[in-house]
Structure formats: C-alpha cells, structure tokens
Amino acid sequence: MGSEQDKLLEEVTNREYQYGFHSDIEMDALPKGLSEDVVREISRRKQEPDYMLEFRLAAYHNWLKMDSPDWAHLKIATIDFQDMIYYAAPKKKPLLDSMDDVDPELRATFDKLGIPLDEQKILSGVAVDAIIDSVSVKTTFRETLAEKGVIFCSISEAIREYPDLVKKYLGSVVPPGDNFFAALNSAVFSDGSFVFIPKGVRCPMELSSYFRINALNTGQFERTLIVAEDDSYVSYLEGCTAPMRDENQLHAAVVEIVTLDRAEVKYSTVQNWYPGDKNGKGGIYNFVTKRGLCKGDYSKISWTQVETGSAITWKYPSCVLMGNNTVGEFYSVALTNNYQQADTGTKMIHLGKNTRSLIVSKGISAGKSQNSYRGLVKVSKRADNARNFSQCDSLLLGDKCGAHTFPYLEINNSTAKVEHEATTSKIGEDQIFYCNQRGIDTEDAVGLIVNGYVKEVINQLPMEFAVEAQKLLQISLEGSVG
Amino acid sequence: MLKIRNLHAMIDGKEILRGINLDIKAGEIHAIMGPNGSGKSTLASVLTGNEAFEVVEGTVEFNGKDLLDMSPEDRAREGLFLSFQYPVEIPGVSMTNFMRTALNEQKKYRGEDILSASDFLKLMRDRKNLVDIDSDLTNRSVNEGFSGGEKKKNEIFQMAMLDPKLAILDETDSGLDIDALRIVANGVNKLRRPDNATILITHYQRLLDYIIPDHVHVLFNGRIVKSAGKELAHKLEENGYDWIKQELVE
C-alpha cells in the first residue's frame, strides 16, 4: 500500500484550496502597524462612543505588558505585530437592507462562497451577517427578527445603538486582559456580530455569519457577543474562508456568550480558513478565544466546531457553568493535513451545583500534520454533584502525522463524577478494500469512513451545514490514505 | 463469463495458487471445496483484487476483459461481487448510505442513471423482502455490532442490491445456524438467473443441500485437482479429502 499511499497523498497535496480566490474590492485601510494612535483611529473611523475607546485603550495597554502564549503543542513563527494592517474596509460602504447598494464585486465574492445573501434565494430561513476583512457588510432578515425583538446586527452598530447592553456584557465573559490574543482583539477588533434574544423568545431562524479575510497583510479581529435572556433560545452559525496568500495572516477573534435562566445557545462553527500550501507556506493563524457563561440556572451552552482550515489553530471554546443545573457541551471535529497544526479543545468550569458537561472530540490527522486535543475539566469546591463525560478520539491517516491528547482535571469536590475515554485508531486497509469491492473508490471510501467516524459531531449541526461540513471533510482529505 | 488460465499468486513470498484453470459460464453455480489452506480464499482475494496478494503468472478474463488489469472497484463495477468470509465493520456509516454510494458508483461507471432517493429506498425494501432480512439491519452502521449470522445475511442483502454478474461466496455458510443458512441459501437461489453465475467457496457439503451446484471442484495445494458434478460433494462429505490425496499420489 506504500507507493499507492504516496501517490494518493501527492494528489491531495496538489489539490488547490477551493476558496482561494481574491476579490478586487477597493479598500480603505490604515497603514501597517499598531500603536495607541492606531487604536484611537479605529475607534474614530467607526464613530464609537467614548466608553468603547476607553475599553480599547485599556486592553491595548494590557496587551503591551503580555507575552504570546507558548504552552500549546504548536510551532509558531514569530509574529511581527507591526507588520500587519489592523483595519481594512471596502471603500464603497454599502447601505444596509438594500442589496442594490452592495458593491457588485463584493456580491460576486459572496456568490463564489455560496452565501445566500440574496434574501429571495433563502428558503431555509438563515439570517446572515457577512463580514469581509473588517467591516460587516450586510445583515439579512432584520425585519423578521425585529418583530420578535431579536437584535442581530454588526457589533459596530450595537456599540452605537445599544450602548447599555454592550457596556453590560462586552468583556464580561472574556475580560480584555484574559490572554494575549484576547487583549489584542479587545484593542483593535474591527467588527463582528451582536445577537440579543429577549426573554421567552425562541429565535425563529438560524443566525449565521460568514467571515472572510480578503486584503493583503490584514489581520482579522472579529468580536461576537451573544446574549440570551431568560427562557430564550438561539442557534448561531459561523463560516470562514480566506484567499490563498504566501504570508501567514492572523485571525484573532473573541466570542462571548451569556445565557440567563433556562436560556439555551447553540454555537456552530465550520472553519475553513486557508491552510497554507503543501509545503506549509502561508495560511491563516487562527488564534481564537471563545467562551460562554451559563449565568442563569438551568441554562445551556453548546459549542459545535468543524475545523478543517488554518495553518495553525489555537482554540478552546469553553463553558463557565455558573448557574445551578447548567449544562455545557463541546462537540469538535478537527482535521489537519499537510503541515497544519491544531491545538484545540475546551474548558468546562463547574461552579454551580448539579452542573453537567459533555465533551466529544474527534481528531483526524493526515499528511505531516500535528493534531492535539487539550481540555480542562474543573470542578470548584461549591459545585456539588457535578458531572462530566469526555470522549476524545483520534484517527490517523498515514504514519508521518501526530495525534496528542492533553486532558487536565482539577476536581475540588468529592461528589463530582468525571469520566474520560480516549481512543486512537487508523483507517484499516480492510475497511477500504471492503468499500472498493462494492465499487467505491479509495478516495470516496476514506470520505465515507471519516464521515462515519465524525457522525456524532456532525449530527449536532443544522441540516444544511452538516451536508456542507461532510463535503468539506471529504475535500480536505481526499486521497490521504494510510 | 470467467476464464482463469494458469493462475499463480503469492503472499509474503509464498506461492499459494499454483496454476488454476477454471471456466465459468453464465447461469452456472460452481462449488469450490478443499481442505484448509488449499488456497480457496486466496482465489477469491486475487479475483477481487486484494493488493495483499501478488499475481505472478496467468490470465483471468471476465466477460472478455482482462480482470487482473482492473482496480478492485472497477472489478466490482464490472459486476464481480464478493461475499466476505469476515465482513468488515465501518462504524458510523449507515447501510443505507453505504449501499447508495456503492450502487450509484456502479451505475455511473456503466453510464446508467443514478436512482432517485425514493426509487433507491423502494429498491432497498424490495431486496430486503427478497432475501428475507430484518429491516433493522439496514438501519444500522455497516456490520457494526452485528452477530456472525447477521453479517453473512447482510452480505447476501448487498449482493441482492448490487445484482452482480458473478458472485463469489467465501465461506458464507461458516458459523451459520440452520435458519440463517436457509435464509442465505434462499437468497442466492432467488437471485439466480440465466445471465449470472455464482462461485461457492465452502468447506462443507451442508450448504450444497440448499444450493445445488452444477460443478464441484476440489482445490488442493493451489491447484484444482478434481472437477465433477454435484455428486462429488457427497463423496467428499462421506470420505473426506484423503482419497483425493491418495489418487494424486498414485
């Protein structure tokens, strides 16, 4: 099987990244580099109120005192933070709610991405906030949502229009000084989405945002804040792509979720940033802080992620289970190929009584990639009857890749019940031959087997995204058999 | 349909098949019997293209085409089916999805239209009834957690779905109780047509009470040493293989 494998592996590595186009949209960008003046200028251009500028400046000064974290199982080239553009906006700023005003180039970009921006085409009822480089371009379905009292808009708009909500919740889950990249994000974040679901409202549709890095040398720092009041529910999705570039580009996002009593938020990500070429050149550095706070009793936050892109992924969507009887869930598929590196997992912090958490992590490594699961389950002294179950599986394709599992447990309450299961397996030649014998070629067989392996996680995604995620996995893996 | 000429094959440097000659015509059922280690399963593996085995000499023609020149999946798409002695588990992949992928790939290869979802489900129901398989089996992941008998029944179900020109049943009767054996045999008999053919690889005469072969071959030391009608199977059942070995020595 050796030479066959090499041949197939070569085929994959020669496959081009499907979303690697670049759009010629006129950009209005700040010069490279980061300073207090740049932070002030971002805030000014976005016409932000003073409270926001203060938030940014405090974060910036915090950041100056911090160092880039080095504890992850990752090899990261030194990032020159002065060699980066922190703000880039499409020049013709489109007006919201009128498709006619959107730059045709930009619309073509979204069409290529397959984003259903055009409301008439949307039958499935997904409301979309599309963010290109730094600016939120269009939020669809706003009127329908407004009838229910749901706010779904860009974070920039929220900062201006809903200062009380933003002041109350922004930075309440991920404080500006939380970590190096969160501090950087807090200082320079350019846009992102804001979601507010009022008391007792079940959001009538999936909310969705698409992120795309387009301009050269641009970092993308989006900021998302989701607040779900008592007895509310929302399902939120994000998708990401970027053009092919030789240089590494930085993406350092922060996502914060707050759920009040009996509220539930489902957050799903399909991440397909440009992973770099077959020699490991270029690709996105995806350094993201995502955290949810189950503040109210009986509330629930569920993270589902399918991570197939990025040169480096550093990401631990977490749940702080503060209220009693709260539930946190983390479902993850992380796929790495070629020279990709992923260090991803979750943190489940049990603070309230009778809190429960579930972790299902499926890693897939191919090529020369390194794939690590890193997860913390922490049960505090007061968290009586806390429960956790963790399942961490690794699937290896080939013998040049690595899979690692780093589970951390900190249990400070004797009534806690914590279980951890881990498996590592390889795709068997016998499984592939069995598929071959039924008329399925090897590439399709690998796709089929891998999709079977990740089914538990994919099932958590809304239907149309599940189909997309399955295709994505198949594309990312085609031929990498071992 | 199938013409095997002087087929030699080896694994790990050891020659297992040492010059097989065999002709199978449409409409026929051939039984290949023989003691353990005689090369029966190797023949099935070599014909279906398992890369663990190396063909060192000989030719195999399947409906006028060079079988040995084809990839395993193309052999399947040309209508060659193997009921595995040890069916493989594929966790998380539903039988429905598996069969639909397989059937569509085969249809695409032959330039036929692929089935719509509803036509496919109808075909599934129809084939399930034909081979008398529990509907439950097809709702589960491919062979995952199946009992030995369920796995074998599932192989026959897949055979019914894919409707091959030539099916090779490798020890499909081993480990089956009498009810499961009957279901498997009935399935094979119902699928029999003048334009397809079957090779039964088996140890025991038992299966041949239910599926009556046209020809019985004895494989020994990598060669077919005796071929006759169905009565040969009975003789083997009564007398074992020793008398054949004896004949060979003489």
Question: What interface predicted TM-score (ipTM) does this complex get?
Answer: 0.96
Within 10 Å of residue B61's Cβ, how many Cβ atoms?
A: 15
Within 10 Å of residue A417's Cβ, how many Cβ atoms?
A: 12
Overall average pLDDT of the A215-232 stretch: 82
SS3 assignment, position B21: strand
User: How big is the A-B interface in CB pairs under 8 Å?
Assistant: 78
Please say whether the beta carbons of B53 and B45 come within 8 A. Answer: yes
Give B82's contacts in chain A (Cβ within 8 Å).
437
Each residue's pLDDT tens digit, A355-393: 999 999 999 888 888 899 999 999 999 999 999 999 999
Q: Which chain B residue lies closest to A455 (C-alpha atoms)?
A: B92
Distance from CA of B103 to the nearest CA of A (A): 8
Give B141's contacts in chain A (Cβ within 8 Å).
452
Euclidean distance between CA atoms A177 and A188, whole angstroms: 13
Q: Do B92 and A455 touch (CB under 8 A)?
A: yes
Euclidean distance between CA atoms A110 and B8, whole angstroms: 59
The pLDDT of residue B96 is above 80? yes
The pLDDT of residue A28 is above 90? no
The pLDDT of residue A116 is above 70? no
B171: which 2 tokens? 């020890």
Out of B77, B87, B89, name the one closest to residue A439 (CB): B77
pLDDT of residue A51: 93
The pLDDT of residue A95 is above 60? no
Closest CA to A450 of A397, A374, A379: A397
Euclidean distance between CA atoms A334 and A310, whole angstroms: 11
Q: Do B76 and A452 touch (CB under 8 A)?
A: no
Euclidean distance between CA atoms B16 and B36, whole angstroms: 12
Give A438's contacts in chain B (Cβ within 8 Å).
76, 98, 102, 158, 162
For domain B2-249, the CATH superfamily is P-loop containing nucleotide triphosphate hydrolases (3.40.50.300)
Distance from CA of A436 to the nearest CA of B (A): 4
Closest CA to B20 of B218, B165, B157, B241: B218
Extract the runs of DSSP E, i.e. beta strands, from chain B.
2-11, 14-24, 29-33, 54-62, 65-66, 80-83, 90-94, 141-142, 166-170, 197-201, 215-220, 223-228
User: Domain limits of chain A?
Assistant: 2-476
Each residue's pLDDT tens digit, B79-91: 999 999 999 999 9
Euclidean distance between CA atoms A179 and A374, whole angstroms: 17
Closest CA to A212 of A269, A251, A246, A267: A251
Give A444's contacts in chain B (Cβ within 8 Å).
101, 105
Q: Do B76 and A430 touch (CB under 8 A)?
A: no
User: Domain limits of chain B?
Assistant: 2-249
pLDDT of residue B59: 96
Residue A222 DSSP code: B
Q: Do A435 and B92 touch (CB under 8 A)?
A: no
Q: What's the pLDDT band for A244 if we cut at 50, 70, 90?
A: low
Please say whether the beta carbons of A333 and A458 come within 8 A. Answer: yes
Q: Which chain B residue lies closest to A453 (C-alpha atoms)?
A: B92
A190: which 2 tokens? 């350019």
Amino acid at A183: A
Residue A324 DSSP code: T
CA torsion sign for B126, B131, B135, B136 is negative
pLDDT of residue A121: 39
Euclidean distance between CA atoms A90 and A162, whole angstroms: 24
Residue A293 DSSP code: E
CA torsion sign for B57, B59, B65, B70 is negative
pTM here? 0.79
Q: Do A436 and B49 touch (CB under 8 A)?
A: yes
pLDDT of residue A134: 54
Chain A interface, best mutation among B11, B78, B142, by max A CB count within 10 A: B142
Euclidean distance between CA atoms B5 and B22, whole angstroms: 7
Q: Output Rg (C-alpha) for chain B, integer angstroms.
A: 18
Distance from CA of B73 to the nearest CA of A (A): 4
